[in-house]
Amino acid sequence: MILPELTTKHAWELRRQPEIDEDDLWLTPGPVVWQAERFRGPPPMFYPVYRSGDLYATSPLPLIVHKGALELDADVARQVGGAVRYLATNATIDRRVRRVGCPQLSTLELSDPREYVAEFAAATRADVAGVEARRPGFTNLVLCGGKDSLNLLLLPWKNPVIAVSARPNFPLVQQFVKDNRLGMDVVELVDRDASLLDSEIAVNACRIGLDHVRWVAELRELAARFERRAIFWVGAMADVLTTPKWRTYNHSLALARLRASPACAAWPTPTPARACSPGPATTAAACGRAATCRCSRRSPTRWCCRPTMALPCGPCSRTSTCAAP
């Protein structure tokens, strides 16, 4: 059985506006399909955004539903016919629907573990703070396993937080919450409704292994419990960013492949800031979202701006920020 609200075109609200950005898509309570003439700002580089013509969504499914039928991408079908845990491509099971954006290209390098951890933690905190500021009072439902994604529970949340997990990791999450005196509830997910398998297959749209998409009924109940004033968080990339092989991610071959990617080529390359100068904390549009400058441990007499594209370096100053070109 496939839930009718997943496959009925009118179940997805269609919103029209001249332009949209990543925040419109991911910080608007769903289910929503956006129709826009253009995508504003930098290309999506982390949260999934899918496009078909002038329609955008956070999942391929509503775009396929709006088209009325599936147009199978034979190449993708061959890939997912095997034991694929994650579909690492911008293509989807429908040849008209594509994921847009790509990882941010940068020539910045981090090789010091302490600096890497500090940058990783700062970026995660900033992301959470930005989302919570846009949705005050919403409950954070953090889906986590027994390893890397547990770090999400340690963040300085402002809104209420509930940890959500399933066996065999559920008792590990309970113990982690207890050991760190986090004082939050831990909800167990149980895959108890086999009749929803078809719905789970539809939601997944052949993107990841179905062992990660087994709790449609429970997640719907959780959303309803909070009258849809809830945000689901998933530590899907933590096991990538915290692997011992993290130093290999800016390898020159990987960068070359990214630059050649059609998804990256479809977006204009932002012009980097021409100069950075010491001064009070400010934000310059050319430097991206609230980019700040900090000293590099490897080169204490030089500094540059993070997170952003490659920027010129200047004298080290702990209060330095990016100046508009």
Phi, psi (deg, nearest 5) at residue 130: -65, -45
Q: How far apart are CA 18 and CA 36, in angstroms?
A: 5
Q: How far apart are CA 67 and CA 254, in angstroms?
A: 35
β-bridge mates for residue 60, sequence order: none
The residue type at 290: A
Which two structure tokens, joined as six digits, stand for 237? 């990339």
Query: 3-class SS at 260?
Result: helix
Q: How far apart are CA 197 and CA 210, in angstroms?
A: 9
Strands 186-189 and 161-166: parallel
Contact in structure between 204 and 213 (CB atoms under 8 Å):
yes
Q: How far apart are CA 70 and CA 8, in angstroms?
A: 14
pLDDT score, position 306: 40
pLDDT score, position 82: 63
Mention every residue, 6+ apart, whose C-beta is less than 8 A from residue 265: none
Mean pLDDT by 10 residues, the chain (325 residues): 68 90 85 90 83 94 90 87 70 92 68 85 90 92 86 94 93 96 94 78 80 77 88 75 66 56 54 38 35 41 37 37 35
From the number of C-beta atoms within 10 Å of its C-beta (0-12, 13-18, 19+), residue 96 rates as middle
Q: Which DSSP string corresponds to 35-76? A: E-SEE-SSPP-SS--EEETTEEESSHHHHHHHHTS--B-HHH
Q: How far apart are CA 39 and CA 154, in angstroms?
A: 34
β-bridge mates for residue 57, sequence order: 50
Strands 55-57 and 161-166: unpaired
Mention every residue, 6+ apart, whose C-beta is less than 8 A from residue 266: 43, 100
Residue 223: count of CB within 10 angstroms of its CB: 18
pLDDT score, position 193: 75
Mention every residue, 6+ apart, whose C-beta is less than 8 A from residue 21: 39, 40, 41
Contact in structure between 63 and 97 (CB atoms under 8 Å):
yes
